[in-house]
């Protein structure tokens, strides 16, 4: 038995995860985060609070950054989901954002990192030329306890500059 | 930056090398404990007490057991008799420890106290089952306010006979009466620090897999100390240590909370031997906030006597600390450190301390980055209060009293001897980075315009790298594999502190190998030698020692084989870029790959007496008892006197951690600790109501600093080598020690025109606004 056993009937869902179609049946109460982690074995989506504050579980649903702990798997039926595992290129080359985090010491324990990478990826797509103030605002929905955010500020700036120079 | 090339001296140490951990962590391929899935694994959820103190009359489990997917509901009667011994190696078996039943036995002692464990097919089902366990509680009066705990009639632990855990003093305050009575100036205050949580973003968790057929037990743990988890478990279960393997691949932050084995983890170890399947428990955030431990929560009456020139004559601290119901570890060492370190990096001819630790019906105290940091907070805040009282600039007061290099080694009056520190140098460097005089001018101008700017500073000297007992050694095995690639096996215990990168840098230098040729395996007790893990800011110095000892032995063998091959003297062999060459003859070389081929597969080419293979193991014993570190933090801020909001303007840290192995790692450690310290002053509060109910049980209530509140941190470095390996010092904890006084003092300085004194944390907008309001109405 998995997490979708127990109370309530299972509901079929079909969605694209990191470009691959996935069909499954899930119990209505199973969150998207648990579905990704337990059913799809995509364990890069992390749970730091399970009440939508820390941002570690951020994924893209049809391009929008959402907290996978606050969404039920059945709600994403028919959508395209991108998780941290889908951010680097298929051959493993880091994205501009991921490379910038590495260059700028933007991570330490790495637990919050997938959420930051996904949030920043969406942010820089929507706001390619951000001010420092906008960067701080954009990051404020993700909590990091290791870095004091210093390397993360630098990483987002570097990633934005790299993208601006068309090196992405 | 950060390319894997050695610096101009041909060394990787000292360079901003990219971290070897990052590739997996950036792509979602780390392995944290909740990522471990074993065949047939079951999931656990705790039933926890909703009362601060109650008698447990009955536990009714039948409804839960009938629910879908539930395998077991285990209570104290099922598990607690399985305890053989429970003590941590760093504390030893002889200390008068807090009784720590794995599950609550007869009485619950805080909200969150584990009462039963539900084991089910999934975590969802386990939580469903936990809802159905009916516990018959009889609520009892609780000790919530620690300041009255010692006098309270109610006892947290009846068997202890008192709520005073320990109390001792090196002298009574009255012993210094003569100095204080005749001093030109005496500053005294009572300073309070609230409870906070270490709060790693990954909460606690453990998977325990017991194989009855072999008697072997494997633990996957979120821990800073894999070897201690194994040793503790072996004692707990009465199981031979070599039957237990602990694996900790990635740990999502620890900050002290994951140094010790707590009751919840003991329960999982005991339960796993009963359930016949691998068992996983992943703590959720609510559990983490109510049951994983609190830190800080203490106060002290502090006083200092000064002569007419502002020279400190004497200092005394009378300290009381809340340890909750089940402190882990036994709290006396950190409390004693508060007293012993209280004089700080200053010339204090007479000093004394009294420390007390007390039990309350709240969550137990756990270690948190700089567990003794109250000494710096209270000393530095008092120094600013004294400076205002004497109308001396706080910079000038500190300058007069800071230790000079020529005074080292310096034995402070409470029994600590500092050496290889530079408190005056870091202070002056930080002031210069700020341009102190320019800030004072800016502050004066702002005040004329009705704006309130402030500057605050904090100096500290901290002990890192404890060199005795459990912490005193560290082992490494280095194997040059048959292909010529290098693997370094070391205990590890990284929880974000980049020990893999550190070890790779150090080993590449020590062996003359290319960085890319070196890999490290850590966090697995089956293949690494015992090490005390990540605690006490010990990893840099101790791993450097372990790598050095081991690499030295290996270099000798490499040189012997290469010399034999190249027909040169071993002393003339140089190791650079993964090859051995003859000094002065760059064309005469043999690569590590060729050397390994000889050592493993062509052993007749080995010189006489040199064994086959290319592997060495050695254990480093700490050269010194304590490696001292010092730093200065300076913070400037603006306070809105109407709303009480504090905005930090600039933040400067000048730290002397000796030579840096990797400046990015050093600054990352300082920044992380600093922001935790800022959080502790301005935002964080693990609060309870008067009945002992925790009221900050989500991250919406327990406020961590976010990206919008933290300043850009400016770093200065002074480099005074320690007497340890490479001259390195520990830098993991200092940020959390230096930040609180700097932030408090900056806010107090901003508000100095209002005549308020800040002695109670956190400095939330509400508290500041209320203080100013009360002052105006006075």
pLDDT in tens, B525-566: 999 999 999 999 999 999 999 999 999 999 999 999 999 999
Classify strands B312-322 and B585-591 as parallel, antiparallel or unpaired: unpaired
Q: Are A6 and B69 in contact (CB < 8 Å)?
A: yes
Question: What confidence score (pLDDT) does residue B627 get?
Answer: 97
**Domains of chain B (ranges, CATH numbers):** 418-464+627-778 (3.30.365.10), 468-621 (3.30.365.10)
Question: What confidence score (pLDDT) does residue A7 get?
Answer: 52
Mean pLDDT of chain A: 94
User: What does A30-58 look like in DSSP terms, one character per residue?
Assistant: -BHHHIIIIIS--TTS--S-SSSSS-TTE
Written as six digits, the tokens of B24 are 């997996």
| Nearest chain B residue (CA) to A152 | B707
Average pLDDT over residues A32-44: 98
Q: What is the pLDDT of residues B374-419, one digit of tens each?
A: 999 999 999 999 999 999 999 999 999 999 999 999 999 999 999 9
Name the minimum distance, in Å, from the CA of A59 to any CA of chain B.
12
Average pLDDT over residues A41-60: 98
Backbone angles phi, psi at B587, to 5 degrees: -85, -15
Written as six digits, the tokens of B683 are 């935002």
Q: Of B4, B17, B28, which to mutate for an interface test with A (greatest number of A Cβ within 10 Å)? A: B28
Q: CA distances (Å), B94 to each of A145, B88, B331, in order?
A: 36, 11, 14
- pLDDT band at residue B239 using 50, 70 and 90 as cut-offs: very high
Closest CA to A68 of A43, A103, A93: A43
Written as six digits, the tokens of B624 are 């010194």
Name the minimum distance, in Å, from the CA of B288 to any CA of chain A.
10
Chain B residues close to A109, C-beta within 8 Å: 200-202, 250-253, 495-496
Q: What is the pLDDT of residues B476-524, one digit of tens each?
A: 999 999 999 999 999 999 999 999 999 999 999 999 999 999 999 999 9
In the predicted structure, residue B161 carries a pLDDT above the cut 80: yes
Average pLDDT over residues B298-322: 98
| Nearest chain B residue (CA) to A96 | B26
Chain A residues close to B121, C-beta within 8 Å: 1-2, 5
Q: Which strands form B615-621's sheet, in the order they lie side by side?
A: B518-522, B486-490, B473-480, B615-621
CB atoms near residue B173 (< 10 Å): 16
Q: In angstroms, rounded to a whole number, what is the distance separating the alpha carbons of residues B624 and B730?
A: 13
Chain B residues close to A152, C-beta within 8 Å: 707
In the predicted structure, residue B2 carries a pLDDT above the cut 60: no
Q: Are B200 and A111 in contact (CB < 8 Å)?
A: yes
Dmax over CA atoms of chain A, in Å, equals 53
Contact in structure between B726 and B546 (CB atoms under 8 Å):
no
Q: In angstroms, rounded to a whole number, what is the distance separating the alpha carbons of residues B167 and B315?
A: 19
Question: What confidence score (pLDDT) does residue B1 get?
Answer: 39
Q: CA distances (Å), B562 to each of A134, B558, B581, B590, B599, in order?
A: 58, 6, 8, 7, 11
Closest CA to B659 of B748, B741, B751, B723: B723
Q: In angstroms, rounded to a whole number, what is the distance separating the alpha carbons of residues B408 and B410?
A: 5
Q: CA distances (Å), B356 to each of B150, B370, B761, in order?
A: 9, 18, 20
Is B513 in a helix, a strand, or coil? coil
- pLDDT band at residue A4 using 50, 70 and 90 as cut-offs: very low
Q: Of B17, B201, B256, B711, which to mutate for an interface test with A (greatest number of A Cβ within 10 Å)? A: B201
Name the minimum distance, in Å, from the CA of B662 to any CA of chain A.
11
In the predicted structure, residue A167 carries a pLDDT above the cut 80: no
Closest CA to B355 of B383, B327, B375: B375
Q: CA distances (Å), B22 to each of A99, A109, B123, B381, in order?
A: 9, 9, 30, 39
Q: In angstroms, rounded to a whole number, what is the distance separating the alpha carbons of residues B215 and B236?
A: 15
Helix axes B374-390, B734-750, angle to 10 degrees: 30
Q: In angstroms, rounded to a whole number, what is the distance separating the alpha carbons of residues B476 and B456?
A: 43
The percent of residues in chain B predicted with pLDDT above 90, rounded, is: 97
Q: CA distances (Å), A47 to each of A32, A58, A67, A125, B303, in order?
A: 11, 9, 10, 25, 46
Closest CA to A53 of B699, B685, B704: B699
Q: In angstroms, rounded to a whole number, what is the distance separating the alpha carbons of residues B630 and B346?
A: 12
Classify strands A58-61 and A64-67 as parallel, antiparallel or unpaired: antiparallel
N-term to C-term CA, chain A:
44
Continuous H helices in B409-498: 423-434, 436-448
Chain A residues close to B664, C-beta within 8 Å: 105, 151
**Residue A79's Cα: distance from chain center in Å?**
15
Q: In angstroms, rounded to a whole number, what is the distance separating the alpha carbons of residues B653 and B663?
A: 14
Q: What is the pLDDT of residues B419-432, one digit of tens each?
A: 999 999 999 999 99
In the predicted structure, residue B695 carries a pLDDT above the cut 90: yes
Q: In angstroms, rounded to a whole number, what is the distance separating the alpha carbons of residues B732 and B271?
A: 35
Question: Cis peptide leading into B234, omega within 30 of 0?
Answer: no
In the block, tokens 């003590």 appear at B87
Size of interface A-B (CB pairs under 8 A): 200
Average pLDDT over residues B357-382: 98
Q: Are A110 and B698 in contact (CB < 8 Å)?
A: no
E-state strands within B121-200: 134-139, 164-169, 185-196
**Domains of chain A (ranges, CATH numbers):** 11-86 (3.10.20.30), 96-164 (1.10.150.120)
Around A56, how many Cα atoms within 13 Å sit in the side-chain half-sphere?
28
Contact in structure between B456 and B382 (CB atoms under 8 Å):
no
Continuous H helices in B612-662: none
Closest CA to B5 of B23, B20, B17: B17
> Which DSSP helix (H) or strand (E) runs through B589?
strand B585-591
| Nearest chain B residue (CA) to A46 | B202
In the block, tokens 């070599």 appear at B242
Question: What confidence score (pLDDT) does residue A168 get?
Answer: 52
**Residue B717's Cα: distance from chain center in Å?**
22
Q: In angstroms, rounded to a whole number, what is the distance separating the alpha carbons of residues B265 and B245?
A: 15
Contact in structure between B292 and B239 (CB atoms under 8 Å):
no
Buried b (16+ CB within 10 A) or exposed e, B192-224: bbbbbbbbbbbbbbbbbbbeeeeeebbbbbbbb
Question: What confidence score (pLDDT) does residue A166 get?
Answer: 84
In the block, tokens 């807090």 appear at B98
Q: What is the pLDDT of residues B650-673, one digit of tens each?
A: 999 999 999 999 999 999 999 999
E-state strands within B270-404: 279-282, 295-306, 312-322, 350-358
Helix axes A132-139, A113-126, angle to 10 degrees: 130
Continuous H helices in B53-176: 62-66, 76-79, 123-132
Question: What confidence score (pLDDT) does residue B586 get?
Answer: 83
Written as six digits, the tokens of B669 are 């450690």
């Amino acid at each position: 038995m998995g997490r979708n056993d127990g109370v309530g009937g299972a509901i079929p869902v079909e969605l694209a995860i990191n470009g691959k179609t996935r069909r499954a049946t899930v119990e209505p109460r199973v969150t998207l985060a648990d579905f990704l982690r337990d059913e799809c074995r995509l364990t890069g989506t992390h749970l730091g609070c399970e009440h939508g504050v820390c941002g570690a579980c951020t994924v893209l649903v049809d391009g929008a950054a959402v907290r996978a702990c606050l969404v039920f798997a059945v709600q994403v039926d028919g959508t395209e989901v991108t998780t941290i595992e889908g951010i680097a290129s298929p051959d493993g080359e880091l994205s501009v954002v991921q490379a910038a985090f590495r260059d700028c010491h933007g991570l330490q324990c790495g637990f919050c990192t997938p959420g930051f990478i996904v949030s920043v990826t969406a942010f820089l797509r929507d706001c390619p030329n951000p001010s420092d103030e906008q960067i701080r605002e954009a990051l404020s929905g993700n909590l990091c306890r290791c870095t004091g955010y210093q390397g993360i500020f630098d990483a987002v700036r570097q990633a934005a500059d790299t993208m601006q120079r068309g090196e992405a | 930056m950060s390319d894997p090339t050695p610096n101009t001296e041909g060394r990787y140490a000292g360079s901003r090398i990219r971290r070897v951990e990052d590739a997996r962590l950036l792509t979602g391929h780390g392995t944290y404990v909740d990522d471990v899935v074993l065949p047939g694994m079951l999931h656990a959820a705790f039933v926890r007490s909703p009362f601060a103190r109650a008698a447990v009359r009955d536990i009714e489990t039948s409804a839960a057991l009938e629910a879908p997917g539930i395998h077991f509901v285990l209570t104290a009667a099922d598990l607690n008799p399985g305890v053989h011994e429970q003590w941590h190696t760093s504390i030893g078996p002889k200390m008068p420890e807090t009784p720590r039943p794995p599950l609550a036995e007869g009485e619950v002692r805080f909200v969150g106290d584990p009462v039963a464990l539900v084991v089910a097919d999934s975590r969802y089902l386990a939580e469903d089952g936990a809802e159905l366990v009916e516990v018959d509680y009889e609520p009892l009066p609780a000790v919530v306010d620690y300041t009255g705990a010692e006098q309270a009639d109610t006892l947290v632990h009846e068997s202890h006979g008192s709520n005073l855990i320990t109390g001792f003093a090196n002298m009574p305050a009255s012993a210094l009466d003569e100095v204080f009575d005749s001093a030109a100036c005496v500053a005294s205050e009572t300073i309070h620090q609230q409870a906070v949580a270490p709060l790693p973003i990954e909460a606690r968790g453990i998977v325990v897999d017991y194989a009855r057929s072999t008697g072997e037990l494997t633990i996957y743990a979120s821990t800073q100390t894999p070897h201690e988890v194994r040793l503790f478990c072996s004692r707990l279960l009465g199981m031979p240590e070599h039957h237990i393997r602990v694996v900790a691949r990635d740990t999502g932050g620890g900050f002290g909370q994951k140094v010790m084995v707590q009751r919840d983890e003991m329960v999982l170890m005991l339960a796993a031997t009963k359930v016949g399947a691998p068992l996983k428990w992943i703590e959720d955030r609510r559990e983490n906030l109510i049951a994983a431990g609190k830190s800080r929560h203490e106060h002290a009456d502090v006083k200092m006597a000064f002569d007419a020139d502002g020279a400190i004559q004497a200092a005394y601290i009378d300290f009381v600390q809340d340890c909750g119901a089940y402190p882990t570890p036994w709290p006396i060492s950190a409390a004693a450190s508060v007293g012993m370190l209280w004089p700080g990096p200053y010339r204090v001819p007479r000093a004394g301390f009294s420390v007390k630790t007390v039990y309350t019906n709240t969550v137990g105290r756990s270690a948190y980055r700089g567990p003794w940091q109250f000494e710096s907070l209270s000393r530095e805040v008092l120094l600013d209060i004294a400076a205002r009282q004497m109308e001396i600039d706080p910079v000038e007061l500190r300058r007069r009293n800071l230790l000079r290099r020529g005074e080292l080694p310096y034995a402070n009056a409470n029994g600590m001897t500092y050496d290889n520190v530079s408190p005056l140098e870091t202070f002056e460097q930080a002031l210069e980075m700020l341009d102190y005089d320019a800030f004072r001018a800016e502050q004066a101008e702002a005040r004329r315009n009705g704006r309130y700017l402030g500057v605050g500073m904090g100096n500290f000297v901290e002990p890192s790298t404890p060199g005795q007992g459990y912490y005193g050694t560290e082992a490494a095995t280095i194997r040059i594999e048959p292909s010529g690639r290098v693997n370094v096996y070391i205990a590890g215990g990284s929880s974000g502190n980049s020990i893999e990168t550190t070890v790779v840098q150090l080993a590449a230098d020590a062996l003359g190998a290319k960085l890319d040729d070196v890999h490290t395996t850590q966090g697995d007790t089956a293949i690494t030698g015992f090490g005390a893990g990540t605690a006490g800011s010990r990893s840099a110095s101790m791993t450097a020692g372990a790598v050095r000892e081991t690499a030295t032995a290996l270099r000798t063998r490499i040189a012997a084989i290469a010399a034999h091959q190249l027909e040169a003297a071993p002393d003339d062999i140089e190791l650079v870029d993964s090859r051995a060459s003859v000094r002065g003859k760059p064309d005469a070389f043999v690569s590590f790959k060729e050397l390994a081929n000889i050592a493993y597969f062509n052993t007749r080419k080995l010189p006489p007496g040199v064994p086959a293979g290319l592997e060495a193991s050695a254990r480093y014993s700490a050269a010194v008892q304590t490696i001292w570190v010092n730093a200065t933090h300076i913070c400037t801020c603006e306070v809105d006197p109407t709303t009480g909001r504090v905005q930090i303007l600039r933040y400067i840290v000048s730290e002397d951690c000796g030579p840096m192995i990797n400046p990015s790692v050093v600054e990352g450690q300082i920044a992380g600790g600093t922001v935790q310290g800022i959080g502790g002053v301005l935002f964080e509060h693990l609060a309870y109501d008067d009945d002992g109910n925790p009221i900050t049980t989500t991250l919406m209530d327990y406020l961590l600093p976010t990206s919008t509140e933290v300043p850009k941190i400016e770093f200065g470095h002074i480099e005074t080598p320690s007497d340890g390996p490479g001259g390195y010092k520990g830098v993991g904890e200092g940020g959390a020690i230096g930040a609180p006084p700097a932030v408090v003092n900056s806010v107090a300085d901003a508000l100095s025109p209002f005549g308020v004194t800040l002695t109670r944390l956190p400095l939330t907008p509400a508290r500041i606004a209320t203080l100013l309001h009360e002052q105006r109405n006075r």
